[in-house]
Amino acid sequence: MSTPEHSPLGKTTVYAGRYDPALLFPIPREQKRVEIGVMEPLPFHGVDIWNAYELSWLDARGKPQVALAEFRVPAHSPNIIESKSFKLYLNGFSQERIASDALQEALARDLAAAAGAPVTVTLSAPSAQGHAITDLPGALLDELPLEVDDYGPPKAGYLSANHHAAPVEEILLSNLLRSNCPVTGQPDWGTVQIAYRGAPVDHAGLLRYLISFRTHNEFHEQCVERIFVDLMARCAPERLTVYARYTRRGGLDINPFRSTDPAAVPGNPRGPRQ
């Protein structure tokens, strides 16, 4: 069954020594989307960007090769891929003799089969340009002087906007996003960027709302979609983008991006915490 409790999460695992696409464990997005009020057609466009820092294989002579891998899973795919199963799958290449182009083809094919939609795969050398560490742009909310005593579950009621004021366009940022794996309870730490145009959003209420994820159990992708849906419902912006950059676990980081703009294509900047 493709439910989180049936995944490899939280279970003793023997690492595969060989390539095996059956290790990938898809989890349907539908149930959680119904819970948070996301229906077809989707109210957003977007992608889940995965970065793998522990990809290695053997060349034709048996010499180990390494690369950084970027995977882009479209938000319209019917499934997410459970992260531990993803790591086990990638580790299976470590003793496989395979050409880099054949490796890239296999990754794209297998991940598309698991996600249910085409997945873009990019491999690059660790020394390649483009891996510089940089902050996401935005006005940081974290220094607001708040008294906080609510750490979950998330409360959309904290969100509000002043619809009597002139519309604004701003980018807001917080490093205080924390949620937990719904199976193991392990913490997931992230930086979230919220860009919008519309009635001015109350900054203090937004920060309280983000902090209220602190004890919440949900996957990265689901948290970002919940934030997007709650902001649209409570603040009704004309345009909205939510982008979370999570710290890595097990050699993988996951960075969900959701936007009202169908043409928006996010970059993949590696943050200081990543």
Structure-block tokens of residue 112: 């598309």
Whether residue 10 is predicted with pLDDT greater than 60 in this model: the reply is no
Paired strand residues for 254: 50
Residue 81 marked ligand-binding: yes
Q: Tell me what pLDDT residue 9 has.
A: 54
The catalytic residues are 181, 188
Tell me the pLDDT tens digit for each residue of 102-119: 999 999 999 999 999 999
Is the CATH number of domain 139-259 3.30.1130.10?
A: yes
Same fold, 4-124 and 139-259: yes
Count of residues for the chain? Answer: 274
Q: Tell me what pLDDT residue 127 has.
A: 85
**What's the predicted TM-score (pTM) here?**
0.94
For residues 19-46, give the mean pLDDT.
96
Residue with tokens 């979370």: 244
Q: Tell me what pLDDT residue 235 has.
A: 98
Helix axes 203-211, 220-235, angle to 10 degrees: 150
Residue 221 marked ligand-binding: yes
Residue 82 marked ligand-binding: yes
Q: Tell me what pLDDT residue 147 has.
A: 97
For residues 183-191, give the mean pLDDT.
94
Confidence of residue 1 (pLDDT cuts 50, 70, 90): low
Is the CATH number of domain 4-124 3.20.20.80?
A: no
Tell me the pLDDT tens digit for each residue of 215-266: 999 999 999 999 999 999 999 999 999 999 999 999 999 999 999 999 999 9
- Buried-exposed string 26-54: b where 16+ CB fall within 10 A, e elsewhere: bbebeebbeebebeeeebbbbbbbbbbbe
For residues 123-130, give the mean pLDDT.
86
For residues 15-37, give the mean pLDDT.
93
Residue 250 marked ligand-binding: yes
Instruction: Provide the residue ranges of all domains of the chain, joining segments of one domain with +.
Output: 4-124, 139-259
Q: How far apart (Å, rounded) are the C-alpha atoms in residues 126 and 123?
A: 9
Residue 63 marked ligand-binding: no
